[in-house]
Amino acid sequence: MQLTLEFGGGLELLCDSVKIHKVNVNPQDGEDKLNMKDLLAWVRTNLIKERPEMFMKGDSVRPGVLVLVNDCDWELSGQLDTTLEEKDVVVFISTLHGG
Amino acid sequence: MEANGGESSRILREIENLKSAKSEIERRISDLEAQLRDIDEKDETKTNSTRSCPPLSNGDSGFGHGLSPDMIYRYSRQLLLPSFGVQAQSSLLKASILVVGAGGLGSPALLYLAACGVGRLGIVDHDVVELNNLHRQIIHTEAYIGQSKVESAAAACHSINSTIQIVEHKEALRTSNALEILSKYDIVIDATDNAPSRYLISDCCVVLGKPLVSGAAIGLEGQLTVYNYNGGPCYRCLFPTPPPTTACQRCSDSGVLGIVPGIIGCHQALEAIKIASDVGEPLSRRMLLFDALTARIRIVKIRGRSSQCEVCGENATFTAKQFQEFDYEKFTQSPLSMTPLKLDLLPTEARISSKEYKERVVRGEPHALVDVRPAHHFKISSLPNSMNVPLSSLEARLPEISSALKREEEHASLYVVCRRGNDSQRAVDYLHKMGFTSAKDIIGGLESWAHDVDPNFPTY
């Protein structure tokens, strides 16, 4: 399925400084749905070029990273269990502290 | 030429003298005005303890809203707004707002809050104004370099609006003073620049029940939201665990386009004005994400208050006493103040001072000098005959270092330099492991070179 992935707040530095990625990700063999847990594993393998620990911790994102599915906090849609659909936009943003 | 040079330095000296006399006079004026305000306030509370209009009101015009003729004229463009009007202005004049941090975010926030007529405006900062602040901290001027940011910001606010009360808190916000300072205000604006301060301020706002307008900016991006407002989340609901310290970038390391915190700071002032005057929909349970490069603003929906939150959740019992005892620096593993990190990785014999390096250059010692800063830093300024091999590509470019050493005589030395002397130690540590056993780092980096050897060498 086609998804748009966006990285911000410095996370884009982990994937060759490219902020927006139009990607095609399919559910794993034997599954009919793709959820956020699958997507994170896919991102880690296919998009993150350096320092994966700056993006993930365990099978989720590291502390300080907000995940938004279609402009909505993934806490509201079930976090790792959020089911993705065709043309969804997923944003990964690192919280900023500067001023 | 000589005579002209003497003449211009005499004029420059005179300008300096006049400037310092001017700022001294301004400081005295503002002290006296503050004294006068205190006296007026005491008189007012004596004569009429229930009086609710702001301290410097020059007399109610008798229309039931508490605005004097001067205030009506000054704020007329806001009074003319049907969705704002006299009622919102009147609330604003009675409100008190605290801005923590008079830097890139705080500068425009303070200017607008002073201008729009917030009754009492508090400013917290412990820092002094530096030349490299001025591109973004637009409340400060060259004349205030070396002076307190709070004094500088207060003077600027006062010169825009002398009818509001401005309170100076010239100290760093800590667990020992935060409750006392924040309790005196209705709304808090977090315009700080580091993770521990953000947790500290949010927790304190939860303990005191104050809404918090939180903004952040770095590089070309900004973020903004309102915490602890009307049942919405606090900072810890969103970020229960602090990020790793390596994920906390600072303006002094990563850079920031001056206007970016300016835009976020303006939004912070706007949210505070909306809350203070009870107008519109404050940005609670939503977050604004700003990307300056692509000119995109995204407003996203964020979680509400977390029932599991350790500070504001259902079973949370985070008290004022616990707050005062909480170690925010330990929690986030980063310091509240901006002191740059000073690593001490290497044995003394693997390090030399910038002065000693200079002496070796003068003696003509054969050597190679590797500068491990990122390439865009190297372009700003660099030492003569240094080669740029950024730390991130050191591993791949070891052969270049070997050939540079071979071009020198046999037994040529290898020196490594960076901006402040931390990355150079990491590089030397790695080079030792890779067989470059003679590698030494220049202690304190280019900053020490500028400080101890060549005062004309540009620092940043």
pLDDT digits over A22-54, tens only? 999 999 888 889 999 999 999 999 999 889 999
Within an 8 Å CB–CB cutoff, is residue A1 touching chain B? no
Domain of A86, CATH number, reads 3.10.20.30
Query: Nearest chain A Cα to B251, which residue?
Result: A98
Separation between Cα atoms, residue B449 and residue B206, nearest integer Å: 47
Separation between Cα atoms, residue B357 and residue B375, nearest integer Å: 23
Q: Are A35 and A83 in contact (CB under 8 A)?
A: yes
Q: List, in sequence order, every beta strand (DSSP E) within B306-363.
A: 351-352
Within an 8 Å CB–CB cutoff, is residue A82 touching chain B? no
Question: Is A46 within a domain?
Answer: yes
Interface test with A, best of B99, B227, B248 (most A CBs within 10 A): B248
Q: Are B93 and B87 in contact (CB under 8 A)?
A: no
Going from N- to C-terminal start, the domains of chain B cover 70-332, 348-453
Question: Is A64 within a domain?
Answer: yes
Q: Are B234 and B313 in contact (CB under 8 A)?
A: no
Q: Is there a binding annotation on residue B125?
A: yes
Residue B154 phi, psi (nearest 5): -65, -40
Render each residue's pLDDT in chain B as its tens digit; 460 residues: 455 668 888 888 888 888 888 878 877 877 787 777 677 666 655 544 443 444 444 567 778 888 999 999 999 999 999 999 999 999 999 999 999 999 999 999 999 999 999 999 999 999 999 999 999 999 999 999 999 999 999 999 999 999 999 999 999 999 999 999 999 999 999 999 999 999 999 999 999 999 999 999 999 999 999 999 999 999 999 999 999 988 777 778 889 999 999 999 999 999 999 999 999 999 999 999 999 999 999 999 999 999 999 999 998 989 999 999 999 999 999 888 766 678 899 999 999 999 999 999 999 999 999 999 999 999 999 999 999 999 999 999 999 999 999 988 778 999 999 999 999 999 999 999 999 999 999 999 999 999 999 999 999 9
The Cα of A98 is separated from the nearest Cα of chain B by a number of Å equal to 4
Separation between Cα atoms, residue B389 and residue A58, nearest integer Å: 33
Separation between Cα atoms, residue B427 and residue B424, nearest integer Å: 5
B-chain CB neighbours of A9 within 8 Å are 221, 223
The burial class, CB within 10 Å (0-12 / 13-18 / 19+), for B15 is exposed
Question: What's the CATH superfamily of B348-453?
Answer: Rhodanese-like domain (3.40.250.10)
A-chain CB neighbours of B218 within 8 Å are 10, 96-98
CATH of B70-332, one of 3.40.50.720, 3.30.2010.10, 3.40.30.10, 3.40.190.10: 3.40.50.720
DSSP string, B21-42: HHHHHHHHHHHHHHHHHHHHHH
pLDDT digits over A41-95, tens only? 999 999 998 899 999 999 999 999 999 999 999 999 999 999 999 999 999 999 9
To the query of whether residue B205 is one of the catalytic residues in this protein, the response is: no
The Cα of B212 is separated from the nearest Cα of chain A by a number of Å equal to 15
Within an 8 Å CB–CB cutoff, is residue A63 touching chain B? yes
Residue A39 structural domain = 2-94
Q: A63 and B242 in contact by Cβ < 8 A?
A: yes
Question: Is A25 within a domain?
Answer: yes
Query: Nearest chain A Cα to B297, which residue?
Result: A71
Question: Is A99 within a domain?
Answer: no
Task: Round the CA-based radius of gyration of chain A to a whole number and report it.
Answer: 13
Q: Is there a binding annotation on residue B234?
A: yes
Separation between Cα atoms, residue B155 and residue B166, nearest integer Å: 9
The ipTM value here is 0.95
Question: Is A77 within a domain?
Answer: yes
Count how many domains chain A has.
1
